[in-house]
Chains A and B, each alone.
Chain A
Amino acid sequence: MTALDHLLLFSAATVLLALLVGQRPYGGWLSTVFYAGQFALLMQLAGVGYSGGIIVSSFSLTVLDHTMSWRFDALSWFFAVITIGAALLASWYSAGAWGKKFRADGGNIGLLHLALALNVFSMLLLLASGDFLSLFVGWELVSWASFLLMVMAGGAASRAALKYVTYAMAGAMAIFAGMALAYHYAGSLQYLDFVSVLPLLSASQGWMLVALFGCGFAVKMGLLPFHLWQAAAYAETPGPGAAFLGAISSRMGLYAIIVVLFQLIGLIPIEALKISFTFLDGQSLLGWVAAFSIIFPTFTALRQNDARMLLAWHGIGQGGYMLLGLAAGDALGSAGGLMHVFNHATYQAALFFSVFAVVHQTGTSDLNKLGGLITRMPISFLVMLVGIIGLAGMPPMNGFVSKWMVYRSLMLEGMPLLFVASVIGTLGTILSVYKLIHNMFLGQLRLEHQNVREVPWSMVAPMVILAAIVLITGMMPGLVLEPIASVQAALGLPVVNYTLGGVDMASGALDMIWVCGILFGGFAIGAILFYSGGRTQHIHQLDNYAGGHFLTADTRYQYSDNFYAGLMRVIGPMYRYSFQWLENSIHSVTGLLGSGMKSWYRNAQPSFYLLATAVLAMAWVVVL
């Protein structure tokens, strides 16, 4: 029994625990303890994560002449840290007051805990897969576990979950086809055999593999054009579930892409696949898909009026950065892409926790119905502030470091258009997150929210922990870059030259310790200059310039709707909804064909066409 077996068994035990005691009041706390236990077991595997190497599970299964095996390497360890960490904090968040309110409102808290535990277990299985069959089995289990988590709320959530499962199955079938092709070429489903047969494949065969695997995994990750399911599905999931899904669920698609496309097939053969009549090849295709996956969802997020949908759309967009960094292919880019997985998980979860804290206290996440909560929920505000600075990718938070690395690598590789595209994404993000924090926490406090209070500590603690992680890993990114360097070594990619403060390079290094230090020093100086200038008098929000009018408490004096009116006038016509049109047309065509088939079967006079069929069949036989 190796350390990996301990981890997997303990994770399975957590599932059992959630099944048995999920409904009890202490169920959430017990689950949290078990996740902490999983995390501790994972730390025992930390040698793999930091120094490389592989830990193999002692369990393997041979079914139908295919052998399935499980193992952890540096990449698996890295993703597992994020998975279990996210689950731990989500479970903590749900354990106290949130869980009580959820149960009181008619929600099934036991099912939530069970779904969360199942998600973690299936993700660990996927991360531990050691051959194509176990990869596919893990993949399906992850897809269905996510479905369970998404569908449990009912109503809008179940509609979104149905859409998700249709997309997920389509992706899974693409992967199945790719796996079958791999078996056909290599004679087995083992990675080593696949790698050895790769150089012998022709270009079209290579394209088939890349397309099938790429599209299949892209569905889970939410890359264009397979992204339409993700926002609604993640947004409608109850609180901690949404945070967990947003943090790590779609990154399972990225994990699979990294394993199959970058580790097994390799970037160089992908670059060798050219698309005729264009200047594109496989690598630049990946880069452009990533770039569009950054821009379109980010600008869709800009139009959202529901805080959860806004965050969910940003989640889709940030996935593009991860793929972009990896597609750039050099040490800096891949490190940036991988670090972005970690960074995104931290601040996305923090943002979702903050938003759901507001929902918990006010009952709504509609941005046009909130405002001014900064005085009532200051900690949630601070967490959201840290989160949005991270999401926007500005110093001193960790989001800046990973984005910096991606930008730098694009500069070094000489890809200006991709660089501009990714910066446009960042700018759109800044606009969008400012709207989020302004409409929620700034501006005028509504009359009905005068008595709102901060959420209890069981919800505050995980938020603050995440915010602290965002800040600390922003100031000392070397903490995260160390395991990432071993991931790069494990994948066969060039390794980034990291320091505790950032990256050491000849032509433009980064030292976040200095940058953040000077930044905070600057704030200190600014504070000294400000607070030494005499006492301020705090005035009421209604004591405000209103063009000569007097404001009263029932006057709605908040600018929130259509926040970027001028910009929308310019880019509004650019929202063509083409992807939705495509989705709807596929739906209609299927419906049409289905009705056709149904009417075939309801035909009242079968004998005639039976005769016709028999005659035609005879004719076919005679002719052929």
Chain B
Amino acid sequence: MNPAEMNPQDMHQIVLTVVLPLLAAFLLPVFGRISMTFTRYLGPIVLLIGLLSTYVVWGEMTQPYMIAIGGFAPPTGIVFYIDQLSLLFTALVLLMSLLLWPYHRDTSVREYSLSLLLAGAACGLALSGDLFNIYVFYELASVASFGLVAAIASGAAYAAAIRYLIISGFGSVLALTGIALVYTQTGTLNLAQLALLAPEQLSNITGITAFLLILLGVGVKAELFPVNTWVPEVYATAKKRVSALLAGLVSKLAVLVLVRLLVLVFQTEQALQIMLLLGVLGVISGELAAWRAKDMSRMLAYSSIGQLGMVFIAFSIPGEAGLYAGIAVALHHLLVKPALFLLAERWGKSLEGLRGAARVSPGGAMLFVLFALSLVGVPPLPGFWAKLLVVMGLISQGAAMYSVALAVILIATVIEANYFFRLAITLYAKTEAGEKTGEETEPKAHARLDIATSALFGAALIAAVVFIVPLGQQLKDTASQAANVKTYISTVFPTDGR
């Protein structure tokens, strides 16, 4: 397990993805007073640099490796663990932040700053190998998202942000309690060491309680039932780019954290069962609520809850199959949901007001149909293949709970198809001459960028269809690598493991 083939310089480059954005975030207000133009371009440049380093590392990496921050060896020091999964998510964080960057002219420096903060914290979440570090980055990301949500400065957004803050704060307390429980049981917070100690010391009641608390705490971001009541209000009232970022990206990172914990530390049947139960409840509540939603942003928010419920169900399948299915669904959602939110930027108002909107924005309507088809799971789009993995994984489990989950997912798909295509039909409905079509007058540039970005996501979706076979293989390798606990432990503790 010797990553000696890699150039140490290249190895450590990955830290830039966390450090540079954080640094830039704190320095931006200063630069903002000096030169606005420079401030405006700094963010994307930093993200590009991070992306570049990720690309270099990806090209050179042959097996997982770890970086001991500051040279302090684990378990005392903080560790960054880099394998295909974390690298993939780091790349996605940077890419998505870049695509969903607030390019509008009137964005304030604070927003740039917060966006960079979110990006840096998210990268940290993806790369961390230490519970404490994870908690810190998690809090950082939370704070950044509070600010971003409230940045639109409307009364409704403030109310939503307060609600989000309360629930998130409550969740953080729960998570911290859970982490504390883990520490009292095992005396360490390093994930690899926990993986070693977990089988004896964490498979008791305290262990399960700890997992539950952490699950509920981190689950706030991951839109887990029942701590996801902040989702509809926030996604509906914040700027749609922020909603896209939260729904598409940040939620997946929270899920990633939970998955790492599940795979390494809490590999018990009860843990999987809890996730399954909460996932099922999430699917049911999300999709049914979406069916009755009266405006597009809320509809997408509820749908997001439902999809993430399905992600949780997927991850609750034991073994490599579960990881594979979960990653596939999570990635697919990450591709589709932000694009839909971008479309909702123009269309986020009442659903009835969208009658005939396809006439005004034919590209947008067509993209909406494409994304809806993929979400529902129509072959040959990627959404179908992801769902196939989940279904095949669920059917191979014997417990009754898994069959119930399968039935719930299938029924939820039907409901999903109904409300998405209800909206699609409304978009294409013929309106009488002179009737209001629901379009507002907006600065054209804004809208064009949204549609272009959305179209980019659409193109990526189509490309995923064309390259589905190699993509599937790649994800399978990533999943099997992530599922291998021994590799993790021996990478972090190269000599023997204790």
> CB within 8 Å of B: which residues of A?
61-64, 136-137, 140-141, 144, 147, 151, 154-155, 158, 161-162, 165-166, 169-170, 173-174, 176-177, 180-181, 183-184, 590-591, 593-598, 600-603, 606-607, 609-611, 613-614, 617-618, 621-622, 624
Contacts and interface: CB of A to CB of B under 8 A. Distances in A.
Nearest to B407: A177
Interface residues of B, number: 60
A523 B394 CA distance: 67
Contacts of A61: 469
Nearest to A173: B410
Interface string B417-433: 11001100100111000
A599 to B, nearest CB: 9
A610 B170 contact: yes
A610 B373 CA distance: 35
Majority SS of interface residues in chain B? helix
Given A590-B291, A594-B291, A169 B376 contact: yes
Contacts of B425: 151, 158, 161-162
B463 interface: no
Would you list the 7 A-B pairs with minimal beta carbon distance, nearest first? A594-B292, A597-B289, A173-B410, A180-B395, A169-B417, A137-B379, A594-B288
12 contacts: A61-B469, A140-B379, A154-B428, A162-B418, A177-B391, A177-B410, A180-B391, A180-B406, A594-B289, A598-B293, A613-B226, A614-B216
Contacts of A601: 229, 231-232, 285, 289, 302
Given A601-B232, A602-B232, A618-B209, A154 B429 contact: yes
Contacts of B415: 590
Contact of A591 (B286, B291, B391): B291
B288 A607 contact: no
B19 interface: no
Interface centre among A62, A64, A158, A590 (most CB of B within 10 A): A64
Interface in B286-323: 286, 288-293, 302
A521 B164 CA distance: 87
B284 A597 contact: yes
Given A155-B430, A165-B417, A606 B292 contact: no
A612 to B, nearest CB: 9
B230 to A, nearest CB: 7
B227 A610 contact: yes
Nearest to B390: A180
B328 to A, nearest CB: 9
Contact of A166 (B174, B394, B414, B469): B414
Interface centre among A158, A593, A598, A611 (most CB of B within 10 A): A598
Given A64-B472, A151-B428, A600-B285, 5 more contacts: A64-B388, A140-B384, A169-B418, A602-B232, A617-B216
A9 to B, nearest CB: 17
**Quick one: which of B213, B292, B389, B422 has the most chain A CB within 10 A?**
B292
B289 A598 contact: yes
B366 interface: no
Contacts of A181: 395
A614 B373 CA distance: 37
Contacts of A593: 288
A512 B216 CA distance: 76
B413 A169 contact: yes
B418 A597 contact: no
B413 A137 contact: no
Nearest to A147: B421
Interface of A, helix, strand, loop or mixed by DSSP: helix
Residue from B270, B406, B421, B430 having most chain A Cβ neighbours under 10 A: B421
Nearest to B373: A144
B395 A183 contact: yes
A140 B378 contact: yes
A602 B294 CA distance: 13
Contacts of B379: 136-137, 140-141
Nearest to A180: B395
B45 to A, nearest CB: 39
A227 to B, nearest CB: 17
Contacts of A170: 414
A614 B174 contact: yes
A588 to B, nearest CB: 12
A176 B407 CA distance: 10
B205 interface: yes
Given A161-B425, A177-B406, A621-B209, A609 B226 contact: yes
Contacts of A603: 229
A622 B205 CA distance: 7
A590 B216 contact: no
Nearest to B213: A614
A590 B389 CA distance: 27
A174 B417 CA distance: 15
B173 to A, nearest CB: 10
A618 B388 contact: no
A606 B229 contact: yes
Contact of B226 (A169, A591, A610, A621): A610
A166 B288 contact: no
Contacts of A598: 289, 292-293, 302
A137 B289 contact: no
B229 A600 contact: yes
A380 to B, nearest CB: 30
A244 B493 CA distance: 68
B166 interface: yes
A166 B417 contact: yes
Contact of B395 (A64, A184, A600, A624): A184
B468 A63 contact: yes
Contacts of B406: 177, 180
Determine which residue in A141, A161, A600, A614 has the highest number of CB atoms from chain B within 10 A of its CB, and name it. A614
B322 to A, nearest CB: 15
